[in-house]
Amino acid sequence: MNKFAVLDLGTNVFNLLIAENSSEGLRFIEVVKEPSMIGAAGLADGNIKPVAFERAASALKKLRNRIDEYSMAEGTRLPVFAFATSAFRDATNGKELAEHLKAETDITVNIIGGDDEARFVFEGVRLSNPLVFKDLSVNKLIMDIGGGSVEFIITDGENILWEMSFPLGVARLREKFEYTDPIPDNILADVSTYIMLELRPLWDAIEEYSPRILVGSSGSFDTFRDMINLDKFSCAINEKEGMDATEDEIDTFRSKLRKRTSANISFSDFEALYSKLLKSTSAERMLMPGMSKVRERFIVLGAVISKIVIKKSAVEEIWQSTYSLREGAATVLYKSAE
């Protein structure tokens, strides 16, 4: 196996990673994301809606085309490993959707359980920041916010000490607590109470293992990183040149940001962003530097659950990891082929 493709089929986004088993080891070549929005038509009744079937197929076909471009260049068909998570495994017709995607794209979809998802996320995240994970004397809390679920993993850096998946993904929360922006105080209170109650097993685990570092994996935390850093960049340009940063300048800076595998997020920066998001409307968020179009509708709830976990866990550091399930799955596949 030389080049191969890994697909992380999430509730809101389908992720493609092209990886390579090279003479220097495992190398990540390209990441491509396509909005899937499986939960946009609703997940509360336990069924993925017909419109979501077609939306998912359309997204996967685009990623299939990109894989085929690599296959053409390589002169051989790339192996494809597709992993589906919360929306697929929790829905009564998740297997039916997997079969539909197979028929439409010739990609076999593996619906994985929470344990496998946690293992892949763990393997990916610890690759992103070896220095943070090297110190085995300090426990870390990994948080992966998805559309359908949120995964929590407590690790010493080498071993998984505790893990659990909660059906508190931002798409599910948005469906359960529908509101008009900006989020009203009473809805915020209801959401916060609900999250606090649902995460009781996590609070018990935190009390037992006392993690001191929080690592937010990809997704919402990528957006937090982009928004914080692009806002600082835009302000610096404005102060220096007396005008707003151009789109080209912003795009160049964003590209540099996304080449980093990990970034520290200060508590003050997170608090400032949290307050800004809570007061914002959808139209205002779309004008904020670094806002992801795919995540705009859900980012407020991502910030709310992050704030609750940060406060309740009393961690001393916050880190963002660009790597997640896709890189972790690639790592596991690479090691198994050695």
Domains defined for the chain, CATH in brackets: 3-112 (3.30.420.40), 134-325 (3.30.420.150)
Question: Average pLDDT, stretch 81-98?
Answer: 94
Q: Is 25 left (phi over 0), alpha (psi -120 to 50) or beta?
A: left
Question: Average pLDDT, stretch 214-222?
Answer: 94
pLDDT score of 241: 65
Question: Average pLDDT, stretch 66-88?
Answer: 95
pLDDT score of 233: 80
Question: Average pLDDT, stretch 157-182?
Answer: 94
pLDDT score of 190: 98
**Does residue 179 surpass a pLDDT of 70?**
yes
pLDDT, tens digit, 9 for 90 and up, residues 138-162: 999 999 999 889 999 999 999 999 9
Mean pLDDT estimate for the chain: 93
* Burial environment of residue 167 by CB neighbours within 10 A (0 to 12, 13 to 18, 19 or more): middle
d(CA 245, CA 105): 41
Question: Average pLDDT, stretch 83-107?
Answer: 95
**Does residue 45 surpass a pLDDT of 90?**
no
